[in-house]
Structure 1
């Protein structure tokens, strides 16, 4: 067994979204009452709890609203997805108990596959949200893994080094603010 695979097995991940749901609910209620549309707050954080420690990511709801919403809904079990193990439609947290199945030194770590092999997802795909002001010029960027344009699902990656060749190919929806060393 190679070291990268052993590392991936050790790094089981439980994801929780740190957002003040009460504040979001109240803000959405006020917006609706005033005739507007509810919107996401400007600052959201995701905490990835791994066996190696926490990774805290700031999410970018303004740059990638659909991606952040999908990530939050899957993390909290608030949307239906197809379990690739059973084929059943489920409504439970997708990321709990998943692993970083792809670990490439000096490049990135990838997770979010309910199968843990890099071939699974939620049973649906959605469009890219490429923000030209964001790039991979520094480590710690949180982005959607994909198999080509508009094939986002549940898999994501975190860069561990600058990867400028990825710009425009993956939706960046956040960055690590604490725990990059994990």
Structure 2
């Protein structure tokens, strides 16, 4: 079950099997002055589109959108958390619009001071889902940047099939991947997840980078602490027991 509204009503079973949901609502944007919450979509390759419902949005403008997608090279960003640095390498070739949005939000300090609000710990097949979800300025799973953009799923479809799914309907989002959370098709915003153990998912989540070995050591430390007791989905799904804040996101290199 994947919602396209912001109310997060996923059952534990649905979350375990498929859902890495954000809660963005999408509707055509009204005409207004450029780069306002009611401006039209950008006209470049990515068509960044303001959300009609800005109730839970933290608006920092729309990313630059060149006519042709920027697909050459990689970019490096470090997520400086209260538990150590998590460097990530972004794949422009596989997901140019996603990378463009992520880098823009990083430049705007959008991620600075935000909490990673969700840790999943479904380690038993078939409900394998082991991720840390971050990128929500509200720290609740509801927040978004006030715009959406389309999925880029070529890299997701190229992932290995999960055992028993030769048709590719379930993929192995392998340890170390960086991917976008969403609330359904073409609802990408700011929320993303870091995979700390192989996870079974539909190929519906844009893969746009990898966590470095040094970053995985920090991610493992957070994951090993588990889910905070008392959360509704405890012990498999909820806020991380080791409360995790991205104190600063900073670009460190790349084209």
Instruction: Normalising by structure 1, report the TM-score.
Output: 0.67
Q: Which residue of 2 aligns with 1:66?
A: 97
Gapped runs of 5+ residues in structure 2?
Answer: 1-67, 124-129, 161-171, 219-255
Larger Rg: 2
Q: Which residue of 2 aligns with 1:47?
A: 78
Question: Which one of the candidate residues 126, 130, 147 is aligned to 1:124?
Answer: 147
Q: 1:41: Cα distance to partner?
A: 4.4
Q: Deviations over 1:54-74 (max 9, x none)?
A: 111111100000000000001
Q: 1:124: Cα distance to partner?
A: 1.2
Q: 1:38: Cα distance to partner?
A: 8.7
**Superposition CA RMSD, Å:** 1.9
Kept after mapping to 2: 8 A contact 1:75/1:95: yes
Instruction: Normalising by structure 2, report the TM-score.
Output: 0.48
Kept after mapping to 1: 8 A contact 2:71/2:94: no
Distance 2:173 2:134 in 1: 21
Distance 2:144 2:70 in 1: 26
Q: 1:49: Cα distance to partner?
A: 0.3
Distance 2:192 2:90 in 1: 13
Q: Which residue of 2 aligns with 1:101?
A: 117
Distance 2:180 2:210 in 1: 12
Q: Which residue of 2 aligns with 1:56?
A: 87
Kept after mapping to 1: 8 A contact 2:145/2:189: yes
Which gives a bigger RCO, structure 1 or 2 (Cα 8 Å, sep 6+)? 2
Distance 2:207 2:144 in 1: 18
Question: Which one of the candidate residues 133, 136, 147 is aligned to 2:183?
Answer: 147
Q: Which runs of 4+ in 1 moved over 3 A?
A: 37-41, 134-137
Q: Which residue of 2 aligns with 1:84?
A: none
Gapped runs of 5+ residues in structure 1?
Answer: 1-36, 78-92
Q: Which residue of 2 aligns with 1:31?
A: none
Q: Which residue of 1 aligns with 2:194?
A: 158
